[in-house]
Each structure stands twice: as C-alpha cells, then as structure tokens.
Chains A and B, each alone.
Chain A
Amino acid sequence: MTAHRGGKSIPPKVWAGVAMVAIALALLPFVAALAGQAWVRILNFAMIYIMLALGLNIVVGFAGLLDLGYIAFYAVGAYMYALLASPHFGVHLPFWVILPLGAGLACIFGVLLGTPTLKLRGDYLAIVTLGFGEIIRIFLNNLNAPVNVTNGPQGINLIDPFRIGSFSFAKAESFGGISISGPQKYYYVLLLLTIAVIVINLRLQNSRLGRAWEAIREDEVAAKAMGINTRNVKLLAFAMGASFGGIAGGIFSATQEFVSPESFGLFESIIVLAMVVLGGMGNIPGVILGAILLTLLPEVLRSTMEPLQNLLFGRVLLDAETVRLLVFGIALVAIMLYRPAGLWPSAVRKRELEAPKVAAS
C-alpha cells in the first residue's frame, strides 16, 4: 500500500474496536451453539460463501466480466479434494497439499474458460460462462462410465476430514471442561482462511492490478490506450477468481465429507452472483454483507416459516421449503427495487448513480 499510510500510527480506539470484533468472532460459535449445532454449520457455510462471493467479485465486481458459471471452479476444487482424500481412489493426501492443488487446477480451468472468451462482451460472455458451468456439472454427473472417475450422481462420500497430525477437526472433544464440537473447530479454520481471503482481496483492490481491473470495467478501450495489457489482466481476473473458488470448494469437501454434482448447479452460481450484486458489486464489505445475508436469510426463513403459519392459521398450509424460496425470490426483487446499486455500494458506484446522466447509451 502507499507509503504515507504506513507511517501513520493507529489510534488506540481502533485497536480496541479490532479487539472487540476479534473477541466477538471468537465467541460466535459458542453463542450460535446455544441455538443448536446446525447454526454453527450455517456460520461455516456463510464463510464458505464469503470466500466464493469474494472470488466472483474479482471477476464481476472488479473487472466487470459477467460470470454465470462461477460454481464450476468451486466444483473443481471440491472434487479435487474428494478424489485425492477419500477411499474412492484409495488416495489420502493431506489437506494442505490438496488445497493449493485444487486452487491451481481451478486456476487452470479459469484460464481455459478465459482464453477463448476474451473477445466476448457482456451478455455473450455471461451465456458462455453459464454453458461452461453446465458442461462441468454434466461431466461430473456422467463420468462414472465406462471408467468411474466421479462416481456420477451418487457423488463421493467418506471424504477425509481436515486434520493436523492426529488432531481431527471432525470429532467433538473437550478441553479443560469446555466441550467443542466438530463444526465449532472448523469454524476457526474457516475464520482464519476467510480473513486471509478478505485481506488478499483488500490488498488486491488497491494494487496496480486492481486499478487495471477497474479501468477495464469502466472502459476497456481507454484502458488499452493507457497501456494496460487487457488480455493478461482479464485472464488474471479469471484465474484469481477461479482459485478462490477452488479453495472454497476444497474446504467445502472437507467439512461436508461428501460431494455430489447436485451441489454445483446453475442455481448455486446464481445465488453467489446475487450475493455479489445484492451486497454491492466491487465493494468488499458489501459483498461480505451480501454473502452473510443470503446464507442466513433462507435458514432463518426455514426455521420460522412453520411456526409462523401455525400462529397465523393454526396449521401448516404451505410446505416450508416452498415458502422459503418464494420469500427468497421476493426479497431479491424487493432489495434490487429499493437499492439498485446493492445494499452497500462502493463509493465510486454511488457517485456515478447520483450524478445526472450526461450521455445516454
């Protein structure tokens, strides 16, 4: 970052704030566990989605390339881990070896997708990425014959959990009278990784590369004229976005101990995109907010819809799952209608929207 920033001393108030947030984050899984272990799992999912949303934000938010098949990279990471750490092939590599491998493979897929699509713009790019995502899913679904690679629609189970030495993160244990469950242990691993991903993204945004992405998003021709190698910079956006997806996929595999093609449909891609757009494209805190909200909202609806119907009508009229999705759809529409730039838009975007339109399209 810039030099004058580093020279400034950080006031104690900020330190106090950071410390309080840190304590809150550290205690969160125990508070959530009061409402049931399911909520700890939901917290973990929220963090996986934060990583995914931040990865997609690089492609969509920073570089302005609409990607509707992002979940494919998540799938690549997840299957990489599942194949290299499960009885399916009898290979059991450690977590820290597979994670970079998964990120690397996802990165290669990102470049594979990026290279032929460099010339495409806007919605053409969107449909090609969408097709790419579907192709990956169909392959995962069907690569069980004649040679069984992915085990088809049944998916792969009994995947090794994350462990350091003999310390397994899947089992419940108690330390000095405090019992700590598997999901709670994973929470801390995920928290560290999520913080790392957030920091990397914050640093990227203000880097030379981040500014190049922003320039391409605003005007590709002008960016090219300013000497930006648009081809390489766009490919880097695809590659880096994809690697974050791959990392998130690996962790997903390890925490779930099961993967199947069902988890990687177009709907998932759309949900992650909704997180990015709803939170505020290109603005990291906004994207994090979007990811948390869209993970929690369906879960909150899931647990409140049946009691609410009982209260209002005295019986359950509609299937809770259906109502949950219906409300989710209505929420997407409503939030976009009232906050078209997202819940927490970046300062640049806000300024653009408030400024009167000079030239029309």
Chain B
Amino acid sequence: MQGENRVDILLQQLINGLTLGSVYALVALGYTMVYGIIGLINFAHGEVVMIGAMVALSVVTALLGAHVSLPAAVIILAGLFVAIPTCMVIAYAMEKIAYRPLRKAPRLAPLITAIGMSIILQNMALIVWGRNYLTFPTIIQPTPYNILGASITDLQVLIIVLAGLLMGGLVFVVQRTRLGMAMRATAQNPQVAGLMGIDINVVISAAFVIGAALAAVAGLMVMTYYGIAHYYMGFLLGLKAFTAAVLGGIGNLAGAMLGGILLGIIEALGAGYIGDVTNICGFPFLSDTLQQQCAGSDGQVSMFGSNYQDVFAFFVLILVLIFRPSGLLGERVSERA
C-alpha cells in the first residue's frame, strides 16, 4: 500500500464517519434534551427513531404501490411528513403515560418504565411490520462524486447538510426563543421556573416532542443510507447515540453534537484501520498454525477485525470518562439522588 492510497482511505473513512456521526448527533440531541431537563435516560428514544424509519418506509412503499407518478423527492418528503407527527405523538404519549407520574419517584423507577416502553414499542413494531428486514425501494440512485480519490454521494452530502441545518435550528430555538428560554430555566431549577410562570409540563413535553421530530428525521436518514429498516434497528442506534451524548457531556446540546460526530468518525476510522494495526504476522513468536494462516492470507491475519467496530465506541467512551468524568463539554456533575 502506498502513501497516496492511504490518504484516500483516510478521507473515505472520514466521510463515512461524518455521515454516520451526523445521524448519531441528531439522535443524541433527543437524549440530551430530555436528560438536561428532567434527568431521565429515555431508553425508548432509539425505538422512536425506529418507528420514524418504519412509518416513512411504509408511506414510501404505499405511494409507490399506488402508482402515482411523483418525483422521488416528493415521495420521500411525504414519508417524512407522516413520520414526524407520528413520532411526536408517540413521544408525547410516552412522556404523559410512563414518565410524568413518576417525576417525584426514586430515580430508577422511570428508568425501568423507559425500558418497559422500549420493549412495548419494539414489539408493537414487530406486530405491525413483522420480523423481516424491510428494504427501502430504490427510488433514488445516489450519485458518487470524486474528491481527492475518495467518493462522496449526494445522499451523504444531503444527510450531513440536513443534519447541520436541523442542529442549527435547534440551537436557535433553545437560545433565542421564549420556549428555549423556558427550557433552559426549567433545566436549571424546575421549582423556581414554575414560580416564574413557566408551565413545566409544557416545557418537558416540548423537549420530548422536539427530540422525537429529530429522531424521525434521523430514522429516515439511516433507512435511506443503509437501504433497510428493521424492528430491532433502534436498539443499537439508540445505544450509540446515548453513548455519544454522554461522551460530549450529557445535558449539553453542543456536547451531543460533538459527541455524535466524534463517535461516528471514531467508529469509521477504527473499523477501517484496526485490521492493519493489529496484524500479527509481523510478530516474531508465532505458533505453527498462525504462521500457516499468515502464509495462506498474504500476511494479513489480524488479532481484531472490523467486527470489533462496536467496541471502539465504548472503549473511547470509557477512556474519555476516566479523564473527564462528566464528558468532553459537560461541567455539571450530576448529584441527583
């Protein structure tokens, strides 16, 4: 492998990582907003992403099945505009039923109901959409463009730009509007915010609903990017996004964005390079079987392959938290009992 080639690979991994990272960041924002305001890990947030993807997929498939001749972009937008309200309603109902009554309960009680909600949503999706992987109909053909030897598709550009716009929009809402001010006040001290005339219930519901809207968009992004959707897809995605939120410092909007994008890039780079880094064929002391394996595979036998991709996310998280116990940008050490 020559030097020039390596730069291409690095750039390619960075592009892939940035795309995935944008999605993580969008989902992470949902976790972090809820956590910042009521200190709850909304375990079911990943399922909201899944439902967003599933609903959008169903709408797209239904429109295609009806043979209406619409441009692909309109069909996908239609999917999105059904998915967003659906997710918002689900998140609103979830908060009202499972979390609101437990606001004064011991801290772990809402965590368990969140896990319960996650199981409920997953199995409802299983009943509605079945156990199989659903494929996204090929109505758009991503066109690859060449940058310095690496390729980036227009779909990737769209995902990154759209995610950036949404994040900017959210920052605007939180920093510049009355609702945003109410959210920040409630996050600091719900009692006093209530005394100042803020309806805390509305603010908390708003955090859930805005997070769900972002989740729906993220769901559609993942689905179009990978071309498949599955009732179980929300679990790992949610886990990664939550990891991203903690990595950046949970409760902190900028932290969630930074954490998401970092996590995406770390994963892509890790998966791309771990095979080379842990290639053991250069080691002096190898057993006979290993030497045979090396001879049979052009000197490429890795201790750890790209199937360890998911390990990186957690490994980096643990390392970061050892040195910065409240995440990269977090300052507040949570001491809620």
Contacts and interface: CB of A to CB of B under 8 A. Distances in A.
A322 B127 contact: yes
A314 interface: no
Given A325-B123, A333-B117, A337-B113, A116 B318 contact: yes
A319 B123 CA distance: 10
B333 interface: yes
Nearest to B313: A131
Contacts of A31: none
B92 interface: no
Contacts of B127: 318, 322, 326
Contact of B120 (A145, A333, A349): A333
Contact of B113 (A120, A138, A146, A336): A336
A332 B109 contact: no
Nearest to A64: B337
Interface stretch (B2-10, B151-159, B198-206, B239-247): B239-247
A123 B285 CA distance: 44
Given A120-B325, A121-B333, A142-B308, A341 B115 contact: no
Contact of B124 (A60, A142, A326): A326
Interface in A123-142: 123-124, 126-128, 130-132, 134-135, 138-139, 141-142
Given A274-B112, A281-B108, A266 B117 contact: no
Contacts of A147: 290
Contact of A131 (B104, B110, B243): B243
A289 B21 CA distance: 43
A329 interface: yes
Contacts of A87: none
B243 A127 contact: yes
B273 interface: no
Contact of B106 (A146, A323, A331, A340): A340
Contacts of A66: 108
A340 B123 contact: no
B191 interface: yes
B335 A121 contact: yes
A336 B116 contact: yes
Contact of A128 (B110, B321, B336): B321
A190 to B, nearest CB: 27
B64 interface: no
Q: How large is the interface on B (under 10, 10 to 19, 20 to 34, 35 or more residues)?
A: 35 or more
Contact of B321 (A120, A326, A330, A340): A120
A300 to B, nearest CB: 17
B135 interface: no
A146 B117 contact: no
Interface string B315-336: 1011001100111000001111
Contacts of B301: 146
Interface string A39-78: 0000000000000000000001000001000000000000
Contacts of A123: 35, 39, 41, 246, 250, 334
Contact of A329 (B120, B314, B336): B120
Given A124-B334, A341-B105, A326 B119 contact: yes
Max chain B CB contacts within 10 Å: which of A116, A124, A273?
A124
B318 A277 contact: no
Interface in B96-115: 97-98, 101-102, 104-113, 115
A84 B194 CA distance: 61
A326 B190 CA distance: 34
A329 B190 CA distance: 30
A132 B243 CA distance: 12
Nearest to B330: A124
A278 interface: yes
Nearest to B278: A146
Interface stretch (A93-101, A233-241, A353-361): A353-361
Contacts of A134: 239, 310-311, 314
6 contacts: A123-B334, A124-B321, A134-B310, A139-B311, A325-B122, A336-B110
Which 7 interchain pairs have the tightest Cβ spacing?
A131-B314, A332-B116, A329-B119, A340-B105, A329-B120, A333-B116, A326-B123
